[in-house]
């Protein structure tokens, strides 16, 4: 039996052990349960109390003895529902405090923040940050800008094969200037071509106060960096849009 799922519900090893013993033995006293579980009586009683609070154990009195019994395993589904409700409540609360947290972050002024990434997993992190950042913006402003490069495009597709599908699903638009020939349209995107360098390796993404650069190192492995700074973003955005207007 795979017990990992029970741990994901918040149950500890000893709690799982006691619960399974109760399922096997039926109604039983604390003393008897402690004996078959190999735990001391005090520990067993404390665990039973926690399992009662979770709705997995109940008890009744038989003459002068207190008997404990496991509830129907279907009650585990109620635990799952409770966890789902807790996660939803936490998500709502986090959404409420994100603006306040961002204001604390912004107190650092306009000093750029730089983060480095390596390998396919690093490239995927950059792309996930792009989608998450844009998804938090107003839908009318949900657009970013790209200088597309051949080599880095291959690394991006390898690191995040479903990126375009997820971008479109989140209703995120993109304007792309291809530094080389090639590249097509997939939806919610526009593309213009410079056609200046077929071997260009740097892919530049300009999005919501950030600029990301995805390239390759000396060993042809993907690397990337995100620079977070509103002034740098605005400058790069203005240069991009000026060039966009000049390309036919």
180 contacts 191 by C-beta, under 8 angstroms: no
What does the pLDDT read at residue 62?
80
Provide the CATH number for the domain around residue 42: 1.10.10.10
- pLDDT band for 100, please (50, 70, 90 cuts): confident
Query: How many other C-beta atoms are found inside a 10 Å radius of the C-beta of residue 119?
Result: 15
Per DSSP bridges, beta strands 65-70 and 57-62 are antiparallel
pLDDT tens profile 25-49: 888 999 999 999 999 999 999 999 9
Task: Specify whether the CB–CB gap between 86 and 199 falls below 8 A.
Answer: no
Q: Is 84 within the bounds of a domain?
A: no
Residue 103 lies in a domain: no
Domain boundary among 52, 76, 100: 76
pLDDT for position 131: 96
Tens digit of each residue's pLDDT (9 = 90 or more) over 43-91: 999 999 999 988 899 988 887 788 899 888 888 888 888 888 888 888 8
Tell me, yes or no, if the pTM score tops 0.85: no
Residues 70 and 114 in one domain: no
Please give the pLDDT value at position 40.
93
Among 148, 113, 58, residue whose Cα is nearest residue 231: 113
Q: Give me the percent of the chain exceeding a pLDDT of 90.
A: 49
Cβ burial of 217 (10 Å; 0-12, 13-18, 19+) is exposed
- Mention every residue, 6+ apart, whose C-beta is less than 8 A from residue 139: 171
Whether residues 183 and 238 share a domain: the answer is yes
Give me 66's structure tokens: 């207190």
CA distance 25 to 48: 15
| Residues 115 and 218 occupy one common structural domain | yes
Structural domain that includes position 160: 109-246
Residue 113's domain is classified under what CATH number?
A: 3.30.870.10
Residues 120 and 25 in one domain: no
pLDDT above 70 coverage of the chain, percent? 95
Task: Tell whether 163 and 47 lie within a shared domain.
Answer: no
> Encoding tokens for residue 11?
């149950």
Tokens 């390759």 appear where?
Answer: 216
Q: How confident is residue 226, by pLDDT bands cut at 50, 70 and 90?
A: very high
**Residues 68, 126: one domain?**
no
Identify the residue with better confidence: 152 or 2: 152
Residue with the larger pLDDT of the pair 186 and 2: 186
Residue 97 has pLDDT above 70, yes or no: yes
pLDDT of residue 86: 86
The number of distinct structural domains making up the chain is 2
State the pLDDT at residue 192.
93
C-alpha dihedral, 77 to 82 to 85 to 86, nearest 10°: -140
Same-domain status, 21 and 66: yes
Looking at the structure, do residues 126 and 238 belong to the same domain, yes or no?
yes
| pLDDT digits 0-9 by tens, 176-221 | 999 877 777 888 999 999 877 666 678 999 999 999 999 998 888 9
Q: What is the mean pLDDT of residues 146-162?
A: 91
Indicate if 58 and 134 belong to the same structural domain: no
Residue 206 within a domain: yes
52 & 151 share domain: no
């Amino acid at each position: 039996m795979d017990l990992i799922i029970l741990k994901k519900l918040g149950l500890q090893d000893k709690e799982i052990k006691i619960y399974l013993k109760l399922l096997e033995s039926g109604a039983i006293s604390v003393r008897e349960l402690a004996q078959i579980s190999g735990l001391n009586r005090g520990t067993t009683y404390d665990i039973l109390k926690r399992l009662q609070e979770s709705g997995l154990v109940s008890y009744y009195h038989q003459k002068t003895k207190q008997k404990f019994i496991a509830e129907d395993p279907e009650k585990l589904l109620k635990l799952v529902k409770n966890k789902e409700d807790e996660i939803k409540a936490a998500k709502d609360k986090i959404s409420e405090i994100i603006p306040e947290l961002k204001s604390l972050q912004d107190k650092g002024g306009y000093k750029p923040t730089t983060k480095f990434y390596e390998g396919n997993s690093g490239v995927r992190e950059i792309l996930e940050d792009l989608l998450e950042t844009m998804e938090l913006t107003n839908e009318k402003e949900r657009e970013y800008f790209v200088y597309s490069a051949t080599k880095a495009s291959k690394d991006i597709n390898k690191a995040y094969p479903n990126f375009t599908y997820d971008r479109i699903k989140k209703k995120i638009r993109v304007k792309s200037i291809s530094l080389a020939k090639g590249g097509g349209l997939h939806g919610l995107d526009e593309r213009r071509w410079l056609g200046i360098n077929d071997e260009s390796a740097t892919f530049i993404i300009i999005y919501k106060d950030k600029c990301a650069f995805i390239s390759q190192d000396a060993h042809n492995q993907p690397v990337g960096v995100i620079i977070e700074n509103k002034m740098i973003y605005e400058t790069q955005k203005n240069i991009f849009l000026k060039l966009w207007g000049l390309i036919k």
